[in-house]
């Protein structure tokens, strides 16, 4: 049986992906927690100030106290100070959304972004906290920087089923995904067309630090496919790679970047 702590963390993670909240019954059902136990944990989280309940819908949702903790942590790590100017520069140059992801154990997690689109279509999705590796440029760039054995283990952990509900360009088989991973290794960056969702494209490069086998994260450019064509992605590839190299150089400014990522 899972502990109260594990249940509390699972509930927090679930609510982080559902900003409009969820009813207690659905929280319990999704996490396979008895509803009475879910109610007790939610009551404890509510008493601690991390969860609130919308009286009009009875939905439970995270409070800004949780967000404040996250922002305070990011500020303390120095990620924003070290990386934001580089992200801003790449966003201004590309005119598209630029995002930074950091490797944390077996996951890639969004930590910073910069929006370069000033007019017209603006792509700025609510991508959640962690990155789905098989159908994102960031994920494929990250997998390409690992050994096949490690890459396959991470894909097995997330599974390929979710790809069926994503864009038409998402690889539907493990073979198709690993072909894209190998192609990304050969060209030095990854790109996807209508993979994460229809009508969007992205390219990404892994952030690699000398002396570490696995990348510490990835940096990407994403936007509408009508604007971010294959030719334009090829033209921007050198810039995203240069940004990744610059981010690797500033890794000592942040204890998050300086610590070792997951094994290769």
pLDDT at 18: 83
**C-alpha dihedral (171, 165, 15, 8), degrees to nearest 10:** -60
pLDDT at 212: 78
pLDDT at 1: 42
CA nearest 213: which of 100, 108, 103?
103
Per-residue pLDDT reduced to its tens digit, 104-122? 878 888 888 888 877 655 5
CA–CA dist 60, 200 (Å, integer)? 32
Per-residue pLDDT reduced to its tens digit, 148-160? 999 999 999 999 9
pLDDT at 103: 86
Instruction: Supply the DSSP string of 2-39, one letter for each residue.
Output: --HHHHHHHHHHHHHT-TT-B-HHHHHHHHT--HHHHH
- Residue 187 in this model has a pLDDT that exceeds 70: yes
Tell me the mean pLDDT in the region 13-40: 89
CATH assignment of 4-67, given 1.10.287.130, 3.40.50.1860, 1.10.10.10, 3.55.50.30? Answer: 1.10.10.10
Asked if residue 121 lies in contact with residue 226, where contact means CB atoms within 8 angstroms, the answer is yes
Tell me what the pLDDT averaged over the chain comes to. Answer: 85
pLDDT at 22: 92
CA–CA dist 55, 53 (Å, integer)? 6
The class level of CATH for 78-258 reads alpha beta
- Residue 185 in this model has a pLDDT that exceeds 90: yes
Per-residue pLDDT reduced to its tens digit, 54-95? 888 889 988 877 766 765 666 666 666 678 889 999 999 999
Tell me the mean pLDDT in the region 208-225: 88
Better-predicted residue by pLDDT, 63 or 203: 203
pTM above 0.85, yes or no: no
Percent of the chain past pLDDT 90, that is, above it, reads 48
Helix or strand (DSSP H, E) at 88? helix 79-94
CA–CA dist 209, 219 (Å, integer)? 14
- Residue 263 in this model has a pLDDT that exceeds 60: no
Domain with CATH 1.10.10.10 in the chain: 4-67
pLDDT at 14: 87
CA–CA dist 150, 173 (Å, integer)? 18
Domain with CATH 3.30.450.40 in the chain: 78-258
């Amino acid at each position: 049986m899972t502990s109260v702590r594990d249940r509390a963390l699972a509930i927090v993670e679930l609510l982080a992906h559902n900003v409009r909240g969820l009813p207690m019954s659905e929280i319990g059902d999704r996490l396979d927690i008895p509803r009475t136990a879910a109610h007790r944990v939610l009551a404890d989280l509510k008493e601690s100030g991390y969860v609130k309940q919308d009286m009009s819908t009875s939905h439970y949702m995270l409070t800004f106290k949780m967000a404040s903790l996250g922002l305070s942590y990011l500020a303390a790590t120095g990620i924003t100070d070290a990386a934001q100017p580089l992200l801003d520069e790449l966003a201004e140059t590309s005119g598209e959304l630029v995002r930074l992801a950091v490797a944390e154990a077996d996951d890639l997690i969004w930590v910073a972004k910069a929006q370069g689109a000033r007019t017209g279509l603006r792509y700025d999705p609510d991508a959640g906290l962690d990155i789905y590796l098989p159908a994102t440029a960031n994920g494929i760039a990250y997998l390409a920087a690992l050994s096949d054995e490690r890459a396959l283990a991470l894909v097995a952990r997330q599974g390929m089923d979710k790809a069926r509900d994503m864009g038409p360009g998402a690889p539907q088989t493990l073979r198709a995904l690993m072909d894209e991973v190998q192609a990304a290794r050969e060209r030095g960056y990854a790109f996807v067309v209508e993979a994460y969702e229809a009508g969007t494209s992205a390219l990404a490069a892994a952030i690699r630090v000398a002396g570490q086998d696995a990348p510490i994260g990835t940096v990407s450019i994403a936007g509408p496919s009508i604007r971010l064509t294959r030719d334009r992605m090829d033209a921007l590839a050198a810039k995203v790679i240069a940004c990744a190299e610059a981010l690797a150089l500033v890794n000592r400014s942040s204890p998050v970047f300086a610590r070792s990522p997951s094994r290769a």
